[in-house]
Chains A and B, each alone.
Chain A
């Protein structure tokens, strides 16, 4: 169980859990955000802001509250850690025109969030440089303390990497109950964050797409629940 130190688990409170990537200590939060105490940085992946309106433009009138919901959740976790910097790991906006469709109130909320802290928009495949209009830095990649932050995990067996893009989810079957939840998935050397956005679905980590990233062995999985984030043994997980 690389990357997991069981002795430090606090059973009464699952709201965040310690984990490490190449020896650096992080905390995985139940919201799907990752906190890096040493750098006072909060990392989130795949916000997909304005996904609802993207669908609406194509005739599916999904409730137009996803941006509000995602920003509200983000504000809560920023407050919880009082993070000085934010690293958004790409696909922060569902498409390049997302900002133009965004409600004025939501744009203001975003502006307030950006005002007080250092903000880094890593570019994703959906959003390009859409975040630039709001301020903050727009980067393809960011390296801090030897750890690379990028949107899509690089091909091959890499280490020292934290990424998003894949929307990992896990399916747990136990005691006759099956449930499927977004999850953090890592092997102690690299980590993929769950998608943070309100309308983001998930891809099962047993899917072939994860093979080139982590190989077959030694996966560590933290599933998101309503009241906490839970480390789960890979042997309990199933394909869809």
Chain B
């Protein structure tokens, strides 16, 4: 083990600190110039550990390079706020030790003058995000900027790597490897199920076909086990819902009994609702605040500093507070709703008590009975220290297209050389040359089977077999559209005074304080007069103008919040397996609250319980409707896709399906046809119904009209640079973009079904919104393991699923809506 050099040793001693073993181990690895992955639970001080080797190296007098040199250390974080926070935290040691190290941050908010100066006269340490690194690498002066780079620090790597941003980052690292072959990488990560994937991600893959090169790893074992309880409310867990309104009294008491509580929920709307409920019972006037991604930035900043200043008692938050930054002395985490994944829960619980040796304290509050089972499963996983395995991914082709254009903007490139460079990035290690060439052709002319655009090519041949950008406008387009985050169109919410007349109101709406932003699809469902909770208050929707929604204050007590829009995270495979295990082991039910155990016993008596490896299908009739309920426990996305496909097939089998509903645990399809009888008569076979071949033609036919698929395509089209990203104040509203990419999608599917962008969108759908990969695994797993139970009446287990009916879209919705609108008009006109 190395010894901490001066002035670091003195600085540590002055603070009464001893360097921790992992800090020294990382210092040693860096001195040996080995890339290293540091795995540590929250609270282990891994950010300081990550920077220590860089600070030591930068302070060594003999090693300062010539004047006017490039960057020495590059820190990359998924959040720009985290980069700023880390920069602030570095100021203290640098100032106190009197180190001559210039540290700067760079983000989209950095002024143009400062950004230009950073390129001319780079700081020693630059803290930034993957998008900014991509932009820096696309400039002609990138070799100057990066040539002296010694260390790249990648923070929250577990969150960044398995995503499109992670693909972009991997490609950036591959280029940095070429510009600064001697640099090393330090990855900082929370505990993960498969460290070897992140270790490989950190390394340039030199022989991708043969074996993976792995980075060195330092792992800090978790400290005290967290103290997690499931809240047992007096009222008992309800059948359905996600808001935990039933337990509001107990949640409030827990908040009152602690110093500072973080109350995590899964969606922004849940956050709003819970916040309302808490204030309704807030007899002691406790300072309880709200924090989520839709709120205006100044409001979020205010909450953050109030937390840090110890002025708050509780903050209701969504995933915006999941990562990185510590805003105060949290001593309790309350998790309301389903945990969804073991790793995510561990991360959130880790926000409480940032000292390794003391247990973090957490209370889980399930919203309904299924969520209670999920909470049990999550608790078991936490006790076992188990993590969800993140599927290794192959790099997205749309991201590659963006990168190729960026590299062309930097300098003319040789495709052979770039292909080799790209394959050193782990996500692209198995990229075929054919795919690479198709991406090049896409970037240049769109890559269509019909060679119509050769004369408009964006890449032109240059000397030595190289390719260069056709003109300066291409580079300009690249810089405006770089990045992989494509948000669904957001609508600004402004507060105006109410009481406007209904007709033409929207035309006079303007001004007003901005409260925050909401997804366009949410606003789409509202008509003027509808009330909803936003930014912690109940507001009345007044109207929409361009990309702004106008709301007014209202005295209404209960907001008419429309459907629960679900979390972004489906139930993880790992937790799903644990939930199935609990269900299949009646012995384990003793640990459950009595009403829940009785519910399962009743299910056992009336029907059957889903097993560990099979799937249970129930069919029954109720009020002249026939139902088929399946319990795959594969998450909402899989069930939605499955629901769409089953409805199609049931329609063909003559079961006259009318609609379906899905949640994280199962799905129900209903219709006019007697499904039990169809099965009994042998006219409908469940094995055929659930056959994997549904992923063929049926899927294909559905995808043609699926709005999820169109949204996926739009994202790929933006990232790949086919269409322009929207910019504030610049032309097109989000809706027009949606419109035109839908048209492009339709045309492309019909005329060029093998096009690379469709392939990219399909790959996204497989892992993303449609979760086809998981659906495929499920269908394969249950082959020959379908258990059918025909029932006389509704089964106990199906009740929570059936209660969701009315919140989901139904089969063939759009054409039906048009038909009923037409019918409505006929009735109006004929006086019926």
Contacts and interface: CB of A to CB of B under 8 A. Distances in A.
Interface of A: 1, 4, 6-7, 9, 11, 14, 53, 56-57, 59-66, 68-69, 103, 172-181, 198-202, 208, 223, 225-228, 230-233, 236, 238-240
B66 interface: no
B809 interface: yes
Contacts of B693: none
Contacts of B824: 174, 233, 236
A4 B723 CA distance: 40
Contacts of A174: 817, 820-821, 824
Given A59-B458, A230-B822, A231-B825, A180 B817 contact: no
B473 A63 contact: no
A81 B488 CA distance: 42
Nearest to B707: A179
A140 B750 CA distance: 35
Contacts of A56: 445-446, 452-453, 456
Interface in B104-128: none
B528 to A, nearest CB: 9
A40 B723 CA distance: 41
A58 B336 CA distance: 51
Interface stretch (B2-10, B628-636, B739-747, B780-788): B739-747
B448 A180 contact: no
The 3 closest A-B pairs by CB, nearest first: A61-B446, A64-B452, A65-B751
Contacts of A230: 818-819, 821-822
How many chain B residues sit at the interface, stated as a range, is 35 or more
Contact of A239 (B477, B544, B748, B825): B544
Contacts of B445: 56, 61
User: Which residue, B474, B748, B821, has most C-beta atoms of chain A within 10 A?
Assistant: B821
A213 to B, nearest CB: 17
Contact of A69 (B527, B747, B823): B747
Contacts of B496: none
Contacts of A1: 825, 828-829
A220 to B, nearest CB: 9
Nearest to B563: A176
B525 A53 contact: no
Given A56-B445, A63-B744, 9 more contacts: A4-B829, A9-B822, A60-B723, A62-B723, A63-B752, A64-B450, A175-B820, A225-B815, A231-B826
A6 B724 contact: no
A4 B733 CA distance: 33
Given A61-B446, A62-B446, A240-B733, A172 B829 contact: no
A175 B807 CA distance: 11
Contacts of A60: 722-724
Contact of B809 (A61, A177, A236): A177
A65 to B, nearest CB: 4
B826 A176 contact: no
Contact of A198 (B544, B724, B743): B743
A231 B825 CA distance: 7
Given A63-B747, A179-B817, A14 B722 contact: no
A231 B822 contact: yes
Contacts of B821: 172, 174, 223, 230, 232-233, 236
Contacts of B723: 60, 62
Contacts of B735: 180, 240
Given A199-B740, A240-B544, A6 B825 contact: yes
Contact of B448 (A63, A231, A240): A63
B722 A59 contact: no
B736 to A, nearest CB: 5
B209 interface: no
A65 B748 contact: yes
B830 interface: yes
B820 A9 contact: no
A59 B450 contact: no
Contacts of A226: 705, 814-815
18 contacts: A1-B828, A4-B829, A7-B830, A56-B445, A56-B452, A61-B445, A63-B744, A63-B751, A65-B748, A66-B747, A68-B751, A69-B747, A69-B750, A180-B739, A223-B821, A226-B705, A230-B818, A232-B825
